[in-house]
Amino acid sequence: PQTVYLKDYTPPEYLIDQIELHFELDEQRTRVQARMNVRRNPHSSADSVALKLWGEELQLLSIAIDGRPLQENEFVVGDEALIVHEAPQDRPFEILIENLIDPQANTALEGLYLSSSMLCTQCEAQGFRKITWFLDRPDVMSRFKTTLVADKAKYPVLLSNGNKTGSGELENNRHWVSWEDPFAKPCYLFALVAGQLACVADQFVTMSGRRIDLQIFVEQHNVDKCGHAIQSLKNAMRWDEQTYGLEYDLDLYMIVAVDHFNMGAMENKGLNVFNTKFVLARPDTATDSDYEHIEGVIGHEYFHNWSGNRVTCRDWFQLSLKEGFTVFRDQQFSGDMTSPAVKRIEDVNALRTRQFAEDAGPLAHPVRPEAYIEINNFYTLTVYEKGAEVVRMLHTLLGAAGFRMGCDLYFQRHDGQAVTCEDFVKALEDANGVELGQFRRWYSQAGTPVVTVEQDYDAANGRLQLTLRQSCPPTPNQPVKQPLHIPVKLGLLNADGSPATFEFAGQPHTEVTLDLTAAEQSFNFGNLAGKPVVSLLRGFSAPVTLQMPRSLDELAFLLSHDSDTFNRWEAGQQLATQAIFQLIDSIELGRPLQLEPIVVDAYRRVLADAGGDLSYQALLLALPEESYLSGQMPVIDVEAVHQAREFVKKTLAENLAEQFLELYRQYHRDESGCFDAGAVGRRRLKNACLSYLCKLETPDSHRLAEQQFRAARNMTDQISALAAIVNSRHPDQDDCLDSFYRQWQQEALVIDKWFTLQATSSMPNTFAKVQNLMRHPAFDMKTPNRVRALVGAFSQSNPLHFHAANGEGYRFLADRVIELNALNPQIASRMVSGLAQWRRYDANRQSLMKQELQRIVATDHLSKDVYEIASKSLA
């Protein structure tokens, strides 16, 4: 397979200003007619060049230029492209292509495909070439007119981008609808949908007084689960007006929910296509977190209308231009809608457990990658989540007002263009009159920087000197790293826990952002009454690993007193992490296990402090995840990590049982249907307590969980109780699982949760259960959500059992990857990630994992997607 390089970018030789598409829709034989207005790009080389249109899995019926059918010697059709040897060079011309496609055979879910009984499309990144031959690249922007013709009974609803311009009846019970999108766009934003769909409608009045129709299309049985999505959309539209001054630009905004979808959702102009998971919610079927994710993803796709659609990417190496920026925007939005403190912690937690692992492994790549074999493999945590952190640092460095000025200039300067990450940074610089030269390295340099800290306190003069050093480990193709511009937010605490006022750069402060730009740099803080406790990297102001040795006492102190909500939580995490690592040492040395009393005391204080944000309190109670702990070990010992963490959880439960039970009782009430911060917080805190209490494995704790499970009228309470039951030795576990299945068998998204709970259980014989579940009638390898719920959850969220020392988990995963490779390469390649980190394990596991990767690479007809991930993992 061929590698594509950023350095080889050249502007397109041809442009397509307009395309008129005509579809005769049919499950197995869809006829596509594309009429394109083509001309040479005045900004490309002047040489005469052949016209190369990308196309895959298409059957050509006819091709004509300016009405003249081409002879066979005038063009050639290959597996990937159609080449017209001599196209007109000196004038615009029209190409007319007719071809056939087979949506039902399309299990890769790229291009036009069948999902349940509806036809829909997914064109990002390069799916349009599976619809017709085209200049499928984001810097070719065209105005689209689309006509859809279909059977009226099977496909009463026919949708595409933009505004509806006409419709009518045809013979044989067929009908047509035509659409026109007034905004030029790259073909990755094209969409069509056809099906028997119910519509939930609303309206939004924009800040300039325009009335926008909002429509959500779902299968009839889901109309009662669209209320939250519609409200989220309205919230997002208002928020973008208020926060970025950005208004919606069409008269209609449509969202369609489909069961079969490779990703979360897609921002097609005026016609978003969503995975049902990020639309459908009812209090009894969706958890509080589901409600939040729906709001976040609805916001994300809506925000793309400006950051992605009006201003798009020049080439796919610039993907983070739209994704990093839009993730940052959706994070801001979700924080504003819920709790900024809680949202920040959740985002950092995900970044540190998952993106940091990617950045430390064989698939590490910069936020702006330099090479790819298959672009679908680069929709990564690095491009999305680290990309968002890079935008967040720009926000921190420029301040909210400066950042907004920069964004205004960016949108104004580049509206209607396909641009680069460089253009984005340049707009921020120009609007603020600043220079961000060194900062740009964040886009080109992979790996997570490590920052170490040395403190030197001069009591006589009340001065503190901090020396910060940064380094970054080598990553593939980047052996040597340059220092980065790292914003480090800092505060100091007095001995009594109050915030200290200090002198920095001649001014009094209570908080500053240090610009760490050199490999080693010292900073001085004066006017101190006594030795302060340093609170560093507040709000996680940069995506780095901070190494700062601290005593358990100091961490407990910060957990009680730090005014920065992120660092207060972080102190608790570090406290638990240190305690767990001490226990891991004891396990490995065969010593008896004992938890430091200071840890129990710290959690007792967290339990006692019920004054504030209960969701935040629940986060303070959550122990660091096994994957986060593993990420810090030179050689990962999954069993010791699990055993040590369980020991801490159980010991805390034993020592603080009364407090856990009291809090549980205090907040256990039925507030189903209430989603305000108070009700959500009460559920979170109560369920955190329940999960501790179930570690006691007493008849009382079992009864408590089962009562909650049986009585629950909302999914948060029901699934939390079931999770506690499934992860304990509860005697009625199987009965509870069966009754849950019977209750919810008609609700695909709830059954996904049922699969995931079992796949992630830490109890013995989980692997046998996973194998049985593969044969369950509700399991289906062609439904990505189901595959992720079982195969994905087991291999990525059950380290204990997936990494079984006999290699059964690895063999199982490789078998599934090979099966999926033939059905859906994108999903197959996502599943490989369970094996990518093989170097982090002991020699026995390394060789077992490597074997499976080698078996995958040796598979016949391996897709580019799987080949790239598996071969790079081995390299």
Residues of this chain that bind Zn ion (CB under 5 A): 323, 326
Q: Which is nearer to ligand DPP, 239 or 557 (CB)?
A: 239
Least CB distance to ligand DPP at residue 345 (A): 22
Q: Are 383 and 336 in contact (CB under 8 A)?
A: no
As a whole number of angstroms, the distance between CA 285 and CA 751 comes to 10
**Token pair of 411, please?**
């949108």
Cα–Cα distances (Å) from 366 to 440, 446, 865, in that order, read 11, 4, 19
Active site residue 301: yes
Q: Which is nearer to ligand DPP, 265 or 375 (CB)?
A: 265
Contact of residue 344 among ligand DPP, Zn ion, none (CB under 5-8 Å per partner type) = none
Which stretch in 263-271, 403-411, 420-428, 644-652 sits in contact with ligand DPP by CB under 6 A? 263-271
Least CB distance to ligand DPP at residue 267 (A): 5
Dihedral in degrees, nearest 10, Cα atoms 400, 402, 405, 411:
-80
Least CB distance to ligand DPP at residue 304 (A): 6
Contact of residue 288 among ligand DPP, Zn ion, none (CB under 5-8 Å per partner type) = none
Q: Which residue among 100, 223, 263, 823 contacts ligand DPP (CB under 6 A)?
A: 263
Least CB distance to Zn ion at residue 326 (A): 5
Least CB distance to ligand DPP at residue 327 (A): 8
Q: Are 635 and 842 in contact (CB under 8 A)?
A: yes
Among positions 34-93, residues that touch ligand DPP (CB under 6 A) are none
Q: Which is nearer to Zn ion, 158 or 189 (CB)?
A: 189
Q: Are 419 and 412 in contact (CB under 8 A)?
A: no
Q: Which is nearer to Zn ion, 132 or 326 (CB)?
A: 326
Instruction: Specify whether the backbone of 60 is left (phi greater than 0), alpha (psi in -120 to 50) or beta.
Output: beta
As a whole number of angstroms, the distance between CA 397 and CA 514 comes to 10
Contact of residue 620 among ligand DPP, Zn ion, none (CB under 5-8 Å per partner type) = none
Least CB distance to ligand DPP at residue 387 (A): 11
Residue type, 120: C
By CB under 6 A, is residue 301 in contact with ligand DPP? yes
Residue with the shortest CB distance to ligand DPP: 263
Q: Are 323 and 383 in contact (CB under 8 A)?
A: yes
Cα–Cα distances (Å) from 714 to 162, 286, 679, 706, in that order, read 38, 8, 12, 15
Half-sphere exposure of 680 (CA within 13 A, CB side): 19
Least CB distance to ligand DPP at residue 300 (A): 6
Among positions 313-332, residues that touch ligand DPP (CB under 6 A) are 323
Which stretch in 24-32, 260-268, 403-411, 608-616 sits in contact with ligand DPP by CB under 6 A? 260-268
Helix (H) / strand (E) element for 75: namely strand 75-77
By CB under 6 A, is residue 294 in contact with ligand DPP? no
Cα–Cα distances (Å) from 491 to 34, 513, 516, 831, in that order, read 61, 9, 15, 42
Which stretch in 126-134, 259-267, 754-762, 860-868 sits in contact with ligand DPP by CB under 6 A? 259-267
Least CB distance to Zn ion at residue 774 (A): 32
> Which alpha helices (DSSP H) does 727-823 contain, by range?
733-744, 748-759, 766-774, 784-787, 793-797, 799-802, 808-823
Least CB distance to Zn ion at residue 324 (A): 9
Q: Which is nearer to Zn ion, 326 or 718 (CB)?
A: 326
By CB under 6 A, is residue 374 in contact with ligand DPP? no
Q: Are 799 and 755 in contact (CB under 8 A)?
A: no
**Token pair of 747, please?**
């609700």
Give the residue among 370, 399, 387 at the shortest CA–CA distance from 424. 387
What are the percentages of helix, strand and coil residues in the chain, rounded to 5? 45, 20, 30
Q: Which is nearer to ligand DPP, 379 or 692 (CB)?
A: 379
Q: Which residue among 130, 260, 277, 300 contacts ligand DPP (CB under 6 A)?
A: 300
Give the active site residue among 219, 292, 295, 301: 301
Contact of residue 124 among Zn ion, ligand DPP, none (CB under 5-8 Å per partner type) = ligand DPP
Q: Which is nearer to ligand DPP, 181 or 613 (CB)?
A: 181
Q: Which residue among 25, 254, 266, 337 contacts ligand DPP (CB under 6 A)?
A: 266
Contact of residue 828 among ligand DPP, Zn ion, none (CB under 5-8 Å per partner type) = none
Among positions 538-577, residues that touch ligand DPP (CB under 6 A) are none
As a whole number of angstroms, the distance between CA 449 and CA 483 comes to 9
Q: Which is nearer to ligand DPP, 323 or 868 (CB)?
A: 323
Which stretch in 12-20, 145-153, 276-284, 300-308 sits in contact with ligand DPP by CB under 6 A? 300-308
Q: Are 279 and 286 in contact (CB under 8 A)?
A: no
Beta strand residue intervals within 460-615, DSSP E? 463-471, 486-493, 502-504, 507-509, 511-516, 520-525, 533-536, 545-547
Q: Are 561 and 493 in contact (CB under 8 A)?
A: yes
What is the 8-class DSSP label of residue 322?
Answer: H
Least CB distance to Zn ion at residue 304 (A): 6
Calculate helix-pair angle for 677-693, 614-621, nearest 10 degrees. 20
By CB under 6 A, is residue 139 in contact with ligand DPP? no
Q: Is 757 helix (H, G, I), strand (E, B) or coil?
A: helix
For 588-604, give the DSSP string: HHTPPP---HHHHHHHH
Q: Which is nearer to Zn ion, 321 or 680 (CB)?
A: 321
Q: Which is nearer to Zn ion, 326 or 432 (CB)?
A: 326
Q: By rule CB under 6 A, what count of residues binds ligand DPP?
A: 10
Q: Which is nearer to Zn ion, 388 or 791 (CB)?
A: 388
Contact of residue 683 among Zn ion, ligand DPP, none (CB under 5-8 Å per partner type) = none
Among positions 105-124, residues that touch ligand DPP (CB under 6 A) are 124
As a whole number of angstroms, the distance between CA 548 and CA 399 comes to 27
Q: Are 173 and 91 in contact (CB under 8 A)?
A: no
Contact of residue 266 among Zn ion, ligand DPP, none (CB under 5-8 Å per partner type) = ligand DPP
By CB under 6 A, is residue 240 in contact with ligand DPP? no
Please report, as ranges, the residues that interact with ligand DPP according to CB under 6 A.
124, 263-267, 300-301, 304, 323
Catalytic residues: 301
